[in-house]
Amino acid sequence: MHHAHIDKFAYQDSLIHRLDSRIKFIVLLAFTAVVISLPRTSPGILACYAVGPFTILVLGRIPLRFAFKHILLISPFVLVLALSCPLYDKTPVTVAFGPFVRQSSLGWMRCFVILAKFVVTMLALIALVSTTRFNDLLTGLRRLGVPKLLIIQLGFLYRYIFVLIDRAHHILRARAGRKLRNLGFKAELKVAAGMLGSLLVRSIENAEHITIAMQARGFDGNWRTISRLRIRRSDLLFAAVAACFLLALHFFVRPVLQ
Amino acid sequence: MHMANELLSVPVATGTLAIAAAGLGFICRKARSIITSDKLALMGVLGAFVFAAQMVNFQLPAMPGTSGHMVGAVLLAIILGPHAGAIVISSVVIIQCLIFQDGGLLALGCNLINMAIVPSYLGYFLYKTATAGTSGSLRAYIGAMLACVVAVEAGAFLVPVQAALSGILVVPFSTFLITMLGVHFLVGLVEGLITVAVLGYLQQVRPDIVLDSVPGKVRLSRNALLITLVVFTVIIGAGLSLFASGLPDGLEWSYAERPDQPDFEPCVSSEDSTIAAVDDFQSKYSLLPDYSIRTSELGKAEQQAETAAGWTSFAAVVGSVLTMAFVWLTARVLRKKQSPKA
């Protein structure tokens, strides 16, 4: 496999990696909700909230360049919508930021806040995913009440996603080797359909073989794991620190900034 | 068309998350009796297939540089049946959120509804009614085409509705809606063409996959059909009524508070009781209070207060950046100390 694993850092070991996936997931959910519900008047406070995920990324030894590169990669949709804000809301405002005071419009403020929130929540999401093995996350989600069928489906999907992406790469390379020019829409569509169809047929045949192999080993529809999920003292400590962080920002920093 | 966290308000996000969770729970319970353990691997691999299929792109006509790819919700619903198809596409959306960070965690509910649940059921229903059990005929292909376009459009229709309900974006609802529907009409058209082409290929190579005797085929019971239809009617009805009241500029709450145009008549005010109620609901339950608009008309004292606020936020940003730098440096120093030992 020559593609970069998105979650390649999940298999490292660190203080953060060892935490229980349930605690991390719940903390992330709370953090995202709090950040999203922040008022749009003072973007400055978002920097305070950014300290949280940043610290986790650093403690988890995730390269910051990786995180920011990834955020850039997924930003286009939000970027377009955020940049359309200044076109529609031209209420003039005076933005005072320390020594810099300048005229701007409300639309630009909105645009800026949307983008800043995007970066902060995405940092938090990356902090969760790149410090938690996907299987641990699934076990945690199962304990939190996600239906078994969905968990098994996610587990299978995760297991084969990179296999099939690899296969798609091979097919794409084969097409690039044979097709040297644009063939026109109809032919292109036919080629793509053939590629997809053969990929689909091979996937279904693969799945049949996988099923036979798993049934031979006694698979009965239940996913058995050696569960290592246990709430330990460090997990409680992490939850407490996170709660303190959010509460302190809410009660002490927010009133000052607004 | 992934919805993002930042375009949603917390009530809308939690509401859609709750709806999506309830829907998925219902589908899973419904499907548990139909899906046997030997179909689990097939569903998982087909989910992975959706990812791989999205990499297979092809040149679009008249638009050099752009390329289309398949999403596959309708194709999977045709092959697997609506329940299993909805579960597979949901898992794809969840993986896109968790592993590839496409769309935020709070927007997951919206994305599940827009891209997985609605297209799967709507597409399957349309395909089934249009084809009436015949596969490989012209009728089946037209049905698949129709199913793709409508399913994609339905999902695209819900995005501006959810954004408007949240009231974060200032882009007028109708503009956003028309843009989304226009763009996704093309997307749906391409999706339909490629789905039809793949169905044609399968008809030649493995006709049993498209026929009813397929591994993983699920029959849609009448009850499920009825419930889905009811849910759709409610969703679309709610959306349409919103749109209707949105036409006289009712949806843009931001427009009602325009200080730059004093003669601007806020037509949102209590003339229409439903709009007033919605507005009231929004202001009561939205965790986002209104802007305090810093116009230059403010008094001198207030302006000074504003400048002072500017200083505190400046201090906050600088302090946070310094904290981050401190954390980073400490970690670096500690790591350097550790590494010679290891």
Q: How far is CA A35 from CA A175, B103, B109, B116, in A?
A: 46, 15, 17, 27
Asked if residue B279 has pLDDT above 60, the reply is no
Across residues A107-126, what is the average pLDDT? Answer: 86
What confidence tier does B198 reach under pLDDT thresholds 50, 70, 90?
A: confident
Coil vs helix vs strand at A42: coil
**Bigger pLDDT: B208 vs A111:** A111
Alpha carbon of B45: minimum distance to chain A alpha carbons (Å):
6
B5-250, what's its fold?
Arp2/3 complex 21 kDa subunit ARPC3 (1.10.1760)
Average pLDDT over residues A16-25: 86
Question: Which pLDDT score, from 0 to 100, does residue B286 have?
Answer: 40
Q: Which range, of A133-147, B39-53, B113-127, B219-233, averages the lowest pLDDT? A: B219-233
**Segment among A58-62, B132-136, B209-213, B311-315 with least mean pLDDT:** B209-213
Q: Which of A36, A126, A160 sits opposite B106 (nearest CB)?
A: A36
Give tens-digit pLDDT for A29-54. 899 888 888 877 667 788 888 888 89
Region A213-241: mean pLDDT is 82
The pLDDT value given to residue B256: 41
pLDDT at position B105, please? 85
- Quote the pTM value: 0.75
Q: Is residue B259's pLDDT more than 50?
A: no
Angle of the B82-98 helix axis to the A148-178 helix axis, nearest 10? 80
Q: Identify whether the C-beta of residue B115 lies closer than 8 Å to the C-beta of residue B73.
A: yes
- Give the angle subtended at the CA of B53 by the CAs of B52 and B58, to the nearest 5°: 125
Output the pLDDT for position A82: 80
The rounded distance, in Å, linking the Cα atoms of B72 and B51 is 9
Percent of chain B's residues with pLDDT above 90: 1
pLDDT above 50: residue B290: no
- Contact A82/B168 with Cβ under 8 angstroms? no
Tokens 């050099």 locate to B64
- Residues of chain A with C-beta less than 8 angstroms from the C-beta of B45: 156, 160, 164, 203-204, 206-207, 210
Mean pLDDT (whole number) for B119-138: 79
Mean pLDDT within A172-201: 85
Least Cα separation, residue B31 to chain A (angstroms): 9
**B215-225 mean pLDDT:** 49
Supply the pLDDT for residue B232.
59
Chain A residues whose CB is inside 8 A of the B172 CB are 88
Q: What is the pLDDT, as a whole number, of residue A15?
A: 80
* Residue A206 in this model has a pLDDT that exceeds 70: yes
Confidence (pLDDT) at A85 = 77
Q: Which residue of A has its CA nearest to B29?
A: A147
Q: What is the share, in percent, of chain B residues with pLDDT greater than 70?
A: 63
* Cβ-based neighbours of A184, under 8 Å, separated by 6 or more: B61
Domain limits of chain A?
8-139+229-257, 147-216
d(CA B199, CA B192): 10
The residues near B278 (Cβ < 8 Å, ≥ 6 apart) are: none
The whole-angstrom separation of Cα A230 and Cα A21 is: 10
Q: Is pLDDT of B213 > 70?
A: no
| Nearest-CA distance A232 → chain B (Å) | 24
CB B275 within 8 A of CB B164: no
Lowest-pLDDT choice from B26-30, B128-132, B183-187: B128-132
- Which among A258, A185, A31 is positioned nearest to B305, based on CA atoms? A258
pLDDT at B218 > cutoff 50: no
Is pLDDT above 70 for B293? no
Query: Domain locations in chain B?
Result: 5-250, 297-342
Return residues 9-48 of A near B (CB < 8 Å).
Answer: 28-29, 32-33, 36-45, 47-48
pLDDT of residue B342: 44
User: What Å distances lie between residue A149 and A140, A145, B29, CA to CA?
Assistant: 15, 11, 9
Chain B CB contacts of A37 below 8 Å: 9-10, 287-288
Is the Cβ pair B318, A98 closer than 8 Å? yes
Q: Find out whether A245 and B320 touch, Cβ atoms under 8 Å.
A: no
Between B24 and B233, the more confident residue is B24
Taking the C-alpha atoms of residue A255 and residue B122, their distance in angstroms, rounded to an integer, is 48
Query: What DSSP state is assigned to residue B106?
Result: T
Q: B313, B323, B329: which to substitute to probe chain A, counting the most A Cβ within 10 Å?
A: B313
Nearest to A209 by CA among B29, B45, B75: B45
Residue B63's pLDDT is 58
Q: Tell me the Ramachandran region of residue B263: left when phi exceeds 0, alpha when psi lies from -120 to 50, beta otherwise.
A: alpha
Residue predicted with more confidence, A86 or B258: A86
**DSSP letters spanning B209-263:** HHSTT-TT--PPPHHHHHHHHHHHHHHHHHHHHHHHHIIIIIS-HHHHT-TT-TT
Average pLDDT, chain B: 71
Q: What is the structure's pLDDT at B136?
A: 62
Residue B267: the pLDDT is 42
pLDDT tens for B93-106 read 888 888 777 778 88
Residues of chain B contacting A84 with CB distance shorter than 8 Å: 169, 171
Mean per-residue pLDDT, A224-252? 83
Tens-place pLDDT, residues A69-80: 888 877 777 787
> Looking at chain B, which residue has its C-alpha nearest residue A97?
B310
In this predicted structure, the answer to whether residue B214 has a pLDDT above a threshold of 50 is no
